[in-house]
Structure 1
Amino acid sequence: MNGASREALAAARESLDALTDNTSVDAKKLADELAAVTALLHREVSLRRVLTDPAQAGEAKAQLAGRLFGGQVGGETADLITGMVRSRWSQSRDLVDALEELANIADLTAAQRTGVLDDVEDELFRFGRILGSSTELRSALTDRSAPASAKSELLRSLLGGKADPVTERLVVRLVTQPRGRSLEAGLESLSTLAAARRDRTVAVVTSAVPLTDAQKQRLGAGLARMYGREMHLNLEVDPSVLGGIQVRVGDEVINGTIADRIAEAKRRIAG
């Protein structure tokens, strides 16, 4: 998102945080309702264009949203939506992206309240690794001809009773409502949101052998000093790196593997 949309999303996040700071607010219900509105506005292109039309007054758009959704969702969800359509959005799609993000944050807030946010982070990461290693599973979950109900059933058979219900809801929603994204990109976005719930950054660490607890603690502390915030380590084991570790934080890669040093030496010799 750029410009006005970024500012509108930041304001919407603040509104959601203020709302969910009240523990009497049902975060799961809020997530489900925001997800339902996301799906509706994704389908109804003309409606979302009306709700983001810069030529229309913000209050008029808020009143329209209130009439459309007031009887369909709870008061908290309706207040969030009307506040969002008062804002200015650079593109109509940005409103839908923002609503989806708020739905995911609300689900992660529910996980945080019950003390299972760490589990959800780890389960999302592990599911991504499973997806990457199984062409058959990925094909089944991305098959455009397969009904959403069949994909949901497959995921529930895989995750039901094995993963936290929040993880299951997030993954089912991502698979059944991909909105043009790859599953890998969607899972990475969810992991980033989960880490941000505690102002943490995700670092994907690849090593030839599993790290010891002491090594993980030292690495986490070193990265926290480097980036100025607590880091959540997603650990991968890949024997092909030979030795050392690779750390990826967002688009930045810190490569200290023996395989990379050998490749660099070969490039220099060839050059």
Structure 2
Amino acid sequence: MAELSTLARPYAKAAFDYAHENSVIGEWEDFLLIASSVVGDSAFVQMLDNPAVTADQKAEALISVYDEHATSTQGQSSNQLPVATTPIKNFVHQLAEQERLSLLPQVLEQYRLHRAKALKQVNVYVTSAYPLDDAQRTMIQSRLEQSLNAAVILHEDVDPSLLAGATIKIGDKLVDDSVRGKLKQLKTQLTA
């Protein structure tokens, strides 16, 4: 998995740099999201693995599926997708020529990391024993935004096995303020 992320990194950076410079970050993210789901489809995977299909044909197939999806959502939602632009088409063709279309899910993941960093956003994962109420959510978010000096995007999960309290994960740091975590600490201290 780490190898795929490493291979995807330069493509994601190039895509994000272009999107950021041209103020089309959202459009590119929408494209990458849809393209990622397309390349994960079993029929599309078979086509990607078929040596008889040229790189241009693979690229055009992906662009065609995306454009079809974009035009089918026109008028259905407030977030309308544009058809693939020339830079997006060029990007897809470059990936196809390098046989890297299957990396699109990892490109999307890396792209989102670049976006979060550029926009000073931090993803925070809160797991609590019970669902957070609005007051708790607001308090956690505002305190984290002050201490991190960044906009916090809160992702919530519920795990009753925590008994009470919560764990907060920011990047590779984990703060365990759950009863389960405190009981584990106590057990470690007593057996040491």
TM-score normalised to structure 2 length: 0.52
Residue equivalent to 1:177: 102
Q: Does the aligned pair in 2 maintain the 1:206–1:238 contact within 8 Å? A: yes
Report Cα offsets for 1:171-228 as digits up to 9, x if no partner. xx9x94328xxx6x76653442332342122212111222122211111111112112
Q: Looking at both structures, which has the greater relative contact order when contacts are Cα pairs under 8 Å and sequence separation is at least 6?
A: 2
Cα deviations by residue, 1:49-96 (Å, 9 ceiling, x for unpaired): xxxxxxxxxxxxxxxxxxxxxxxxxxxxxxxxxxxxxxxxxxxx89x7
Alignment of 1:101 onto 2:27:
no
Equivalent-residue separation in structure 2 for 1:215 and 1:224 (angstroms):
14
CA spacing shift, 1:100–1:265, aligned 2, 3 Å: same
Report the 3-state secondary structure (helix = DSSP H, G, I; strand = E; otherwise coil) of the residue aligned with 1:177.
helix
Pairwise CA distance, 1:259: 1.4
Of 116, 141, 149, 1:220 maps to: 141
Name the counterpart of 1:207. 128
Distance 2:113 2:180 in 1: 28
SS of the aligned residue for 1:234 comes to strand
Q: Which amino acid is 1:251 matched to?
A: D
Aligned-residue sequence identity (percent) comes to 18
| Distance in 2 between residues matched to 1:234 and 1:257, nearest whole Å | 17
In terms of fraction of residues, the more strand-rich structure is 2
CA distance in 1, matches of 2:157, 2:9: 30
Q: Which amino acid aligns with 2:154?
A: L
Q: Which residue of 1 aligns with 2:24?
A: 110
Gap change, CA 1:207 and 1:191, over 3 Å in 2: farther
Change (3 A) 1:232 1:177: same
The letter for the 2-side match of 1:245 is A
Task: Map 1:149-160 to 2 at 5 A.
Answer: none
- Within 1, Cα distance between the matches of 2:148 and 2:24? 27
Distance in 2 of aligned mates of 1:99 and 1:106: 11
Which residue identity is paired with 1:214? A
Unpaired segments ≥5 residues, structure 1: 1-92, 125-139
Residues 192, 202 of structure 1: 8 Å contact kept = no
**Residues 126-163 of structure 1: per-residue CA shift (max 9 Å, x gap):** xxxxxxxxxxxxxx779xx74447xx7xx98xxx9699
CA distance in 2, matches of 1:111, 1:188: 14
> Aligned-pair distance for 1:103?
0.9
Q: Secondary structure at the match of 2:125?
A: strand
Q: Is the 8 A contact 2:12 2:107 kept in 1?
A: no
Number of matched pairs = 146
Runs of 5+ unmatched residues, structure 2: 1-5, 34-39, 49-57, 67-71, 83-87, 89-94
Q: Is the 1:191–1:202 Cα contact (8 Å) retained in structure 2? A: no
CA pair 189-263 structure 1, distance change in 2 beyond 3 A: farther
